[in-house]
Amino acid sequence: MANKNEAIVPDDKLDLQGVLCPINFVKTKLKLEEMDVGQVLEVILDDGEPMRNVPRSVKAEGHRIIGVEKLADSTYKILIRKDAE
């Protein structure tokens, strides 16, 4: 059986490696504002503060984290479904 996240093809991607808080959340929020409700954004984040803050802030904005994957280089790929305008 395939991994659930493999079936999800993101509508857009954002690579925020090396981007500090809160700029990484601001860039994520701006990208989500350009997208339609129901679309999925893939975001690459550094471990530590970005991984603690960005998903929490995205959820506070009314969106849903539908996937989190730790990558080999100690970054994370998160999938965010836009659930709110």
**What is the distance between the alpha carbons of residues 43 and 15, in angstroms, rounded to a whole number?**
6
Catalytic entry in 8, 21, 35, 66: 21
**What is the distance between the alpha carbons of residues 36 and 82, in angstroms, rounded to a whole number?**
7
Q: Answer yes or no: 21 catalytic.
A: yes
Q: Is the dihedral of CA 22, 41, 44, 34 positive or negative?
A: negative
Torsions phi, psi for 2 (to 5 deg) = -75, 150
Cite the active site residues.
Answer: 21
